[in-house]
Structure formats: C-alpha cells, structure tokens
Amino acid sequence: MVNSKDYAIETEGLVKMYNHDIKALDGVSIKVPRGNIVGYVGPNGSGKTTTIKVLTNLIRPTAGKAYINGIDANKNPKEALYSVGALIEVPGIYDYLTPHEILTYFGKVYGMKKSEINDRIEEVLKMLKLSNWVNKKVGAFSTGMLRRFAIANSFFHDPEILILDEPVIGLDPKGIKEVRDLLKLFQKQDKTTFLSSHLLNEVADTCDSVVFINDGKILIHDTVENITNSMQKNTIDVKFLKSLTKDEINRIKKFELIDGLKVVNGIIQLDYDGSAQTSSKILSQLISSGFEIISYSPESVSLEDVYISTMGDERGVR
Ligand SMILES: Nc1ncnc2c1ncn2[C@@H]1O[C@H](COP(=O)(O)OP(=O)(O)OP(=O)(O)O)[C@@H](O)[C@H]1O
Ligand SMILES: [Mg+2]
C-alpha cells in the first residue's frame, strides 16, 4: 500500500456508501504534495464534504485509505490529525460561548500553555478582524463573523495542513479577499491547504492545482494552467475606433484566416482556428488594411469554461 510521506494528504481508492445504496465516493485517489494549495471542486452532492469527513476521520470509508503525512487517518486519527486544522460545516453548538472560551478549550486540547493560548487568541482574532469580539457570545455573530471565527479556529494550533470545506461561503467580497490573503500567507509558510469551493475564480487565483470531482469520481487533477490550456476558444473580440460600414465588414469577412464574423453589442467577434499564430496574422492583416483598432482580445479559457464543459449536463446533483 502506498503511504508515502512525500504527500501531505493522500487517498487511495476511497469508496463511501451511505445507507448501503448511495455511493458518495467511488474510488477517489488524490495526492497532495507538501506546501501545495489544492482546490476541490464539483457540483452539489459530488462527494467533496464526504471526502473531507473521511480525511478528518468524522466518518470511515467503506473501502480505501486516507493518509495524512503517510499516517492512516482512520486507523491512527490522533497521530494523523495532530498536524491538521479543519473547517467543516458543524451546527452552532457553541452559541453560548465566546471566542476566548472556545479557543482556550482547543488550546488546552492541543497541550498549549495558558500564556501561549492568550497570545495566540489575540493573534488569530486580529488576523480575522474579530479582536473586538473576543468576549462576545458567538450566538450573536453574523454569518460572515461566524465563518471568520471558524477559520480562526481551524488554524489556532498552527497546523501544517489545513483542510477547509467551503471556507468563504457566506463571506462578503472583502471577507473573501481576506481569506485569499490568508491562504497566500499559509502558502508562504509552506503549509498545505486542501479546500473545497464553488468559487472557481478564487480557486483559479489561489490554488496550485485543482481536482474536479463528479458523482464520487475524480475527473481531473492538474494545474490551473494545464486545465485551461486543454481547451481552446475560437473567437477574437475586436473594438474599432470608428464603427464599421457594411463594406468594411464584408472586406474583413473575406480575409482568408477568418471563419466567420458577428457583431455583438458594437464589438466585432471573429471566428478563427484558435491558434496564437493565426490570431497574430489576423491582427497584422487588419492593421495593414488600414483599420484602426482600440482593443483586440482573443477570448481566453477560464477554469469555469472547462468546469462547465467537463461536468456537462449530467450534473451529479442528488
Ligand atoms: N449522512 C448522509 N447520509 C446519506 N447520504 C448522504 C449523507 N451525507 C451525504 N450524503 C450523500 O452523499 C453524496 C455526496 O454528498 P456530499 O455532501 O459529500 O457532497 P458535496 O460535494 O459536499 O456537495 P455540496 O457542494 O452541496 O456541499 C450526496 O448524494 C449526498 O446526498
Ligand atoms: Mg459539501
């Protein structure tokens, strides 16, 4: 059995059945190198939270293995999970307690000294902009504050690995940016982060690699660059200084390298073969034919484009 310490997180053929008939995970194998940020994306019900629950030993897999730093997370959870900070949807069981009380409790669980706990409380609450709320009951917190507190809680004991299930859900744009900065800070500190998210732009911006899951199966695990390079878009949006006459449009349509032309909201959209060479040649031809161009944008492929085309219509929504 592979249980290499080279990977901070590794799963081997995870299967999870719920009630003997729902196959939430169907052979999930993922390898997360140390120091990486990995985005875990997939439709509702595809198995993200289930994977994260297995990794953190909240549930046991029906088959397969999950390792943290090479240690079996379901056989030796205490040892494996000591180096893990996790954020998983949990009901508000701590409503009547304050951040100070909750974090003191966790600090003690992790064997931290009282002075160390107090310093760390100050530090993490400052990072999540919750310093003024240290002695307020969390039951009174807004959705965003609860989320920020849950994040603070997850890395309170300064773990080397973070496993976060939809960390930015419910946060406003500023809160999302703060979490993004925090993830980048973790990356600088060489921590490993595994996070599930539906925000593909955030994932594309912060993650070293992305895993696509659908229907309990892993479809892709690669860098954002490789994933977006795997698809081509075949249009170029061009804005001209003056609006084009019918004659001018017809002239462009006759360019050999152009397969089609549409006018969309005053922008000329050219169809071509999608290659960089052709795009460059078309631009030269337009300029040498005397057209005055304000902007020339071959459409780029986003993570969302690949996601939509990969997941297709058979979304794993259950
Ligand atoms: N406790 C449970 N009992 C029975 N079925 C469950 C249970 N938890 C999850 N499932 C089912 O397992 C599948 C995977 O669910 P999971 O929560 O892992 O998906 P997810 O990818 O996290 O979805 P979302 O994006 O909505 O959070 C779904 O079909 C779900 O209905
Ligand atoms: Mg989920």
The single-letter DSSP state of residue 128 is T
Q: Which residue's CA is the closest to the ligand 1 atom numbered 11?
A: 24
What is the CA(211)–ligand 2 centre distance, in A?
Answer: 15
**Residues 248 and 261: beta-carbon distance below 8 Å:** no
Angstrom distance (rounded) from CA 195 to CA 277:
37
Q: Which residue's CA is the closest to the ligand 1 atom numbered 28?
A: 45
Angstrom distance (rounded) from CA 318 to CA 313:
13
Specify the pLDDT at position 91.
57
Name the pTM for this structure: 0.86
* pLDDT of the chain, 318 residues: tens digit per residue: 444 568 999 999 999 999 999 999 999 999 999 999 999 999 999 999 999 999 999 899 999 999 999 999 999 999 999 999 999 876 556 788 999 999 999 899 888 999 999 999 999 999 988 999 999 999 888 888 888 898 999 999 999 999 999 999 888 898 898 889 999 999 999 999 999 999 999 999 999 999 999 999 999 999 999 999 888 889 999 999 999 999 999 999 999 999 999 998 889 999 999 889 999 999 999 999 999 999 999 998 999 999 999 997 554 444
User: Nearest 5°: CA angle at 179, between 221 and 58?
Assistant: 60
What is the CA(165)–ligand 2 centre distance, in A?
Answer: 7
Ordered by where they begin, the domains of the chain are 7-229 (3.40.50.300), 235-298 (3.30.70)
Q: How many Cα atoms within 13 Å fall on the side-chain side of residue 246?
A: 0
Q: Which residue's CA is the closest to the ligand 1 atom numbered 15?
A: 45
Angstrom distance (rounded) from CA 246 to CA 202:
42
What are the Cα distances from residue 271, in Å, to 7, 69, 99, 232, 241? 44, 49, 57, 12, 20
Element (H, E) at 154: helix 143-154
What are the Cα distances from residue 195, in Å, to 88, 192, 206, 265, 273? 10, 10, 11, 38, 36
Residue 198 Cα: closest atom of ligand 1? 25
Residues touching ligand 1 (Cβ under 6 Å) are 18-19, 22, 24, 42, 44-50, 318
What is the CA(51)–ligand 1 centre distance, in A?
Answer: 10
Q: Could you identify the residue written with the tokens 């804005």?
A: 239
What is the CA(215)–ligand 1 centre distance, in A?
Answer: 10
Q: Which residue's CA is the closest to the ligand 1 atom numbered 8?
A: 50
Angstrom distance (rounded) from CA 288 to CA 78:
70
% helix / strand / coil in the chain, to the nearest 5?
A: 35, 25, 35
Mutation choice for ligand 1 from 49, 58, 211, CB with most ligand atoms inside 8 A: 49
